[in-house]
Amino acid sequence: MPRLAMRNPVPAILALLHVLIGVRLLLPLDWAAQAAGVLALAACYHWLPKGWHVPEGPRPWSVWVRWVTMGFFSWLLVLTLAREATLAAAAVFASPAARDAWSADSAYAVLALAPAITLAGFLIARAVPRVREVRIVLADLPPALQGFTIAQISDIHVGPTIKRGFVERVVNRVNALDSDVVAITGDIVDGSVAALSAHTQPLARLASRHGTYVVTGNHEYYSGAHGWIRELRSLGARVLLNEHVLIEHDGARIAIAGVTDFTAHHFDASHRSDPRRALAGVPEEVVKVLLAHQPRSAEAAARAGADLQLSGHTHGGQFWPWNLFVRLQQPFTAGLHREGAMWVYINRGTGYWGPPMRFGVPPEITRIRLVAA
């Protein structure tokens, strides 16, 4: 008997969500608001599924509409569900007249807040990230390494909506920090070398005392990792594939190590992430900094003897409330944490993925400063 083909459930689920929002939000409103709401929801339903399938080279306005629609619909759904909670409370505690008034007022509020928050999140996402200063206290830091600085950028996601101009502004801000090392912790691109090399070219201008070090993220593997490794090397970056570099700094040494992405072996078995291999041969007394795209490399990195792991990947959740779900997959969401004796710092992302949206989770360029205990 031939097997029945499995139908994609996503369009049906999206249709049900649109109907749910329409029924719950639009019924209490006047006819003009209902008509406008129906048109907006129809446009959302038309564009939303297309956001997940953005080929290289479509018309620019089409790309922006797809991704902005996704961010807008996310807020529309979240605010609708929040409104339902307030309606349930009103059903218990408010009079019938107050409930009817709140039903209409809260619906109008959702329809006003969703585009307002979408616009605010868009402006935050597109702005040049601010510099976040982070001090890492290491007990046995050599005096020569006191104040050693690492400028970390992560998850730029050059691709459908992030282009050369954004990268140039990030590079200018990083260079102004005059750091000892620049570290890029993966997910630089979302697309092929052929399509995006002109937009990543400004990375060649990254300047620091000891150079730029890069590790691969999962999106490099989606985009042709081997081609991007060659391209990044041509831009002057040192791509660390389960290996390290010993840097001489004012008479002291520090190891900058890097591992391939946690999931790299699914794309290339020879790229299996291996912190122990990355740190093999580093003298015990040398400070060991490990670059690892995903925070979940931390347990193996701590066992391998790293003093500090710098990661990205999570975007800090990118915008509320999805940041609350990151811990289902990663041990840490953002900021500074401990894994045994090792420090772990997770950059919230310098760019963004998908919707050009940041709300409650700002992007960042991080300046790590090593200090003695």
Q: What is the mean pLDDT of residues 86-93?
A: 92
Q: What is the pLDDT of residues 331-348, one digit of tens each?
A: 999 999 999 999 999 999
pLDDT: which is higher, 355 or 204: 204
| pLDDT bracket for residue 4 (50, 70, 90) | very low
Q: At what angle do helices 31-47 and 96-126 cross, to 10 degrees?
A: 40
State the pLDDT at residue 241: 98
Which tokens sit at 218?
């999962």
* Cα–Cα distances in angstroms (integers) from residue 117 to residues 21, 68, 109, 356, in the given order: 18, 12, 12, 12
Instruction: Provide the percentage of residues in the chain whose pLDDT is more than 90.
Output: 80
Q: What is the pLDDT of residues 106-115, one digit of tens each?
A: 999 999 999 9
Q: What is the pLDDT of residues 54-75, one digit of tens each?
A: 555 556 777 888 899 999 999 9
| pLDDT bracket for residue 210 (50, 70, 90) | very high
State the pLDDT at residue 6: 55
Cα dihedral sign, 172-312-184-191: negative
Residues 6+ positions from 171 with CB-CB distance below 8 Å: 202, 203, 205, 206
Report the distance separating Cα 310 and Cα 346, nearest Å: 6
pTM (global) more than 0.85? yes
Given a contact cutoff of 8 angstroms between Cβ atoms, the answer to whether 245 and 279 are in contact is no
- Is the pLDDT score of 364 beyond 70? yes
Give the closest residue to 318 by CA, choosing from 129, 54, 113, 61.
Answer: 129
Give the closest residue to 87 by CA, choosing from 35, 42, 23.
Answer: 23
- Is the pLDDT score of 225 beyond 50? yes
Q: Taking the CA of residue 180 as centre, how many other CA atoms within 13 Å lie in the half-sphere pointing to its CB?
A: 18
* Cα–Cα distances in angstroms (integers) from residue 259 to residues 54, 73, 218, 293, 365, in the given order: 29, 37, 12, 8, 21
Report the distance separating Cα 160 and Cα 64, nearest Å: 8
Helices (DSSP H) in the chain: which residue ranges?
Answer: 10-26, 31-47, 60-93, 96-126, 164-175, 193-200, 218-222, 225-234, 275-279, 298-304
- Is the pLDDT score of 1 beyond 50? no
pLDDT: which is higher, 55 or 198: 198
- Is the pLDDT score of 194 beyond 80? yes
- Is the pLDDT score of 327 beyond 90? no
Q: What is the pLDDT of residues 28-45, one digit of tens each?
A: 888 888 898 899 899 998
State the pLDDT at residue 322: 79
Given a contact cutoff of 8 angstroms between Cβ atoms, the answer to whether 312 and 217 are in contact is yes
Residue 247 main-chain phi, psi, to 5 deg: -105, 130
Q: Which CATH class is domain 131-372?
A: alpha beta
Which tokens sit at 231?
């391209």
What residue spans define the domains of the chain?
A: 10-126, 131-372
**Pairing relationship of beta strands 243-249 and 308-311 according to DSSP bridges:** unpaired
Q: What is the pLDDT of residues 230-263, one digit of tens each?
A: 999 999 999 999 999 999 999 999 999 999 999 9
Q: What is the mean pLDDT of residues 130-135?
A: 98
